[in-house]
Amino acid sequence: MKGKMIRLTWPSKRISLMALAIIMLWLKTYITYKISFDIKIENAIQELILFINPLAFLMIVFGGSLFFKNKFKSGYILGASCLVSAILYGNVVYYREFTDFLTIPLLFQASNMGELGESIFHLLSPWDILFFLDVFVLVLLIKWKPAFVSATPYNKRKQKVYVLLVAAISFLNLGLAETERPQLLTRTFDREMLVKNIGTYNYHIYDAFLQSKSSAQRALADGTELADIENYVRANYKQENPAMFGAAKGKNVIMISMESTQNFVINETVNGQEITPFLNSFIKDSYYFNHFYHQVGQGKTSDSEFIVENSLYPLSRGAVFFTNPRNQYRATPEILNEAGYSTASLHANNKSFWNRDVMYGSLGYQRFYNIEDYTVNEENSVGWGLKDKDFFEQSIEHLKELEAKGKPFYAKFITLTNHYPFTLDEKDASIAPYDSNSKTLNQYFLTVRYMDEAIGHFIDLLKKEGLYDNSVIILYGDHYGISENHNAAMAQYLNKEEITPYDSAQLQKVPLIIHIPGHKGKVMTEVAGQVDLKPTLLHLLGIPTKDNIEFGADLFSKDRLGFTVFRDGSFITEDLTFTKDTCYSNVNGEPVEDAAACGPYEEKAKQELEFSDKIIYGDLLRFNENVKSP
Ligand code: GP9
Ligand code: MN
């Protein structure tokens, strides 16, 4: 077999263009895995899987050239090489910001692209040209060494051997992957795990398969799937706390989504200066949840909005705001409209960003104050747009408009200045940047501080307008701001030797602050997530949620289960953290002795994510009698 292979790959005593293209791309992919992606390898078998996983795919793609006459062969090989390299490079750029891989739904989010300009620019480097080095080599060879192109074509027998070889490599890859990670394709929400085991290219093919499957799901759904889900939700319902039910009845609700705000900045300093002086004082007379986790997937801010308003999980691929904006939902704004509230979202960005203009209709928002409702000019913008201080100042007029309707209002504010790449005008910076090898982390503290001041100023304005004492104010971080690409700098800041997967999971904590007029401040340490916000808020307003189909539980309930699932299947309980296939103890952050400790929760985590996916892909809430057509 070995001898044959050698004769095949070097048919005319020198390496063929096809074999060269395969080998260069294969090695390039492996080097990219090691340099550009942070794929955790635990043993030699996993390293072997990682090494061989691009090969079968590349052999299939480039094997296509065997069917071409010499005239077209080089064109095909060059074209395929460009395309595959571009896919790899696209993933590299996306990974730099999101520590994640591309999915097909992301490619359909074209309306987001325009805004991303500055962010994308920060993610590119002139050295990236090296990602296409092999393509240049091919071009030069085709031009200067045409002998490479005219290698003797494979006869039938050689073609058969080639096909067998591809099959053998594929089976070896899949077999090894199956032993390392059983049920890989059926039970995995973690893309890193997929790429690690089947390779980045096969992962894209699998993603395309998932795409076609999910598109068909709505048409095939008939509502029978809902019964299981309803039973599950009912069985897990947590009794409301009578002392808190209706505690804020009839009050306005002011909710602020704090862009990229992680919990590690709260009550902390940088260069000896407080990062969030306002929030630190505000939590003293609010309920402050310091074990509250974001649960977003690829839809980032929009996913956090989706979770908070629906108490459902976002999707594992793409953003629900783009994939299923016309579903039937039973979201907080719709429920509050019925309870006599006016509802509005305020965010000074294009209304179509994240497809909000369409999705907000399905969530029930009566009004979306978007960029057209604000005065935005060069003077008052930075980075992604209107500075937070100006945003809040100008928003007061809109709040007055809502107030004038003579009903309580539910107003959601989405801040923007603390967004990657965390740019800020010098005159707006109150503290000095941090000093580490990550410009992103260094700058982050400045924009967090700016946002903190902006919110403080807003609260003053609310007091001045007489709105403060009549409103519940909820602040939450939408998702992480510092991705795992800045682990070295994070470790330096946190005084740790390294950031382990356990630390990364714990860093997904975002602040949740609930201020209720007349209530004293209290630090709440129970493990919670964004899905819990909807039932918590509705109960505070005195609205029952027993019949809703949702996965969160009232944070004030006495019998709640400390348990929170991330979108990739990781989860946190009061004692354990499960991530990257390892069960850690929350006491010391070390893997637990008893490997089965996380087992029961693992099932629950998967179950909830699967149920939530079914609801969204099948648009199942249209079959629920409590969900009315908008
Ligand atoms: C855009 C803002 C930022 O309108 O919400 O979105 P993000 O990039 O954080 O998802
Ligand atoms: Mn965001």
d(CA 209, CA 217): 13
User: Which ligand gives the minimal distance to the CA of 116?
Assistant: 1
d(CA 185, CA 183): 6
Q: What is the pLDDT of residues 310-365, one digit of tens each?
A: 999 999 999 999 999 989 999 999 999 999 999 999 999 999 899 999 999 999 99
Q: How confident is the model at residue 228 (pLDDT cuts 50, 70, 90)?
A: very high
Q: Which two tokens stand for residue 293?
A: 């986790």
pLDDT on residue 628:
60
Say yes or no to pLDDT of 148 above 90: no
Q: 29, 261, 276, 301: which one is catalytic?
A: 301
Q: Which atom of ligand 1 is nearest to the CA of 260?
A: 9
| Amino acid code (one letter) for 173 | N
Stretch (H or E) spanning 343: strand 342-346
C-alpha 225 to ligand 2 mean position (Å): 33
Q: Which two tokens stand for residue 506?
A: 């714990």
C-alpha 580 to ligand 2 mean position (Å): 24
Residues 423-452: what's their mean pLDDT? Answer: 97
C-alpha 318 to ligand 1 mean position (Å): 14
Which of 280, 259, 277 lies closest to 387, judged by CA? 259
d(CA 130, CA 128): 5
Q: Which atom of ligand 1 is nearest to the CA of 414?
A: 5
d(CA 510, CA 630): 32
Question: Bigger pLDDT: 129 or 114?
Answer: 129
Residues 396-421: what's their mean pLDDT? Answer: 97
Mean confidence (pLDDT) of the chain: 92
User: Which ligand gives the minimal distance to the CA of 476?
Assistant: 2
pLDDT on residue 10:
41
Q: What is the pLDDT of residues 69-78, one digit of tens each?
A: 777 888 999 9
Q: What is the pLDDT of residues 415-426, one digit of tens each?
A: 999 999 999 999
d(CA 198, CA 531): 32
Q: How confident is the model at residue 48 (pLDDT cuts 50, 70, 90)?
A: very high
CATH 3.40.720.10 fits 245-552, yes or no: yes
Q: How confident is the model at residue 158 (pLDDT cuts 50, 70, 90)?
A: confident
Residues 292-314: what's their mean pLDDT? Answer: 97
pLDDT on residue 188:
66
pLDDT on residue 555:
98
Q: Are 534 and 512 in contact (CB under 8 A)?
A: no
pLDDT on residue 4:
43
Say yes or no to pLDDT of 132 above 60: yes
Place of tokens 């089947």: 198
pLDDT on residue 113:
66
pLDDT on residue 226:
95
By mean pLDDT, which of 1-15, 75-89, 216-230, 467-481 is the weakest?
Answer: 1-15
Domain limits, CATH 3.40.720.10, in the chain: 245-552
User: Which ligand gives the minimal distance to the CA of 321?
Assistant: 1
Most confident of 136-145, 152-161, 184-193, 511-520: 511-520
Q: pTM for the full model?
A: 0.86
By mean pLDDT, which of 3-7, 265-269, 529-533 is the weakest?
Answer: 3-7
Say yes or no to pLDDT of 40 above 90: no
Say yes or no to pLDDT of 236 above 70: yes
Query: Which protein residue's CA is at the shortest distance from atom 5 of ligand 1?
Result: 301
Residue 289: strand pairing partners:
512, 524
User: Which ligand gives the minimal distance to the CA of 112?
Assistant: 1
DSSP character for 272? T
Question: Bigger pLDDT: 108 or 594?
Answer: 594
d(CA 288, CA 511): 7
DSSP character for 271? T
Say yes or no to pLDDT of 99 above 50: yes
How would you classify the pairing of strands 528-529 and 522-524?
unpaired
| Mutational test site, ligand 1, from 294, 353, 415, max ligand atoms within 8 Å of CB | 353
Question: Bigger pLDDT: 362 or 184?
Answer: 362
Residues 396-405: what's their mean pLDDT? Answer: 97
C-alpha 260 to ligand 1 mean position (Å): 9
Q: Which atom of ligand 1 is nearest to the CA of 353?
A: 4
| Mutational test site, ligand 1, from 349, 360, 479, max ligand atoms within 8 Å of CB | 349
The reply to whether omega before 277 is within 30° of 0 (cis) is no
d(CA 577, CA 462): 40
Question: Bigger pLDDT: 327 or 110?
Answer: 327
| Amino acid code (one letter) for 242 | P
Residues with Cβ within 6 A of ligand 1? 259, 300-301, 347, 349, 353-354, 414, 416, 419
Q: Which atom of ligand 1 is nearest to the CA of 299?
A: 10
- Percent over 90 (pLDDT), the chain: 79
Integer-rounded Cα Rg, in Å, for the chain is 27
Active site residue 301: yes
pLDDT on residue 8:
43
Helices and strands counted in the chain (H then E): 24, 18
pLDDT on residue 162:
92
Say yes or no to pLDDT of 80 above 70: yes
Residues 234-252: what's their mean pLDDT? Answer: 97
User: Which ligand gives the minimal distance to the CA of 98?
Assistant: 1
Q: What is the pLDDT of residues 50-72, one digit of tens each?
A: 999 999 999 999 999 888 777 78
Q: How confident is the model at residue 9 (pLDDT cuts 50, 70, 90)?
A: very low
C-alpha 248 to ligand 1 mean position (Å): 30
pLDDT on residue 539:
98
Residues 92-114: what's their mean pLDDT? Answer: 83
Question: Bigger pLDDT: 101 or 112?
Answer: 101
| Mutational test site, ligand 1, from 106, 109, 122, 302, max ligand atoms within 8 Å of CB | 302
Q: What is the pLDDT of residues 503-517, one digit of tens each?
A: 999 999 999 999 999
Residues 439-449: what's their mean pLDDT? Answer: 98
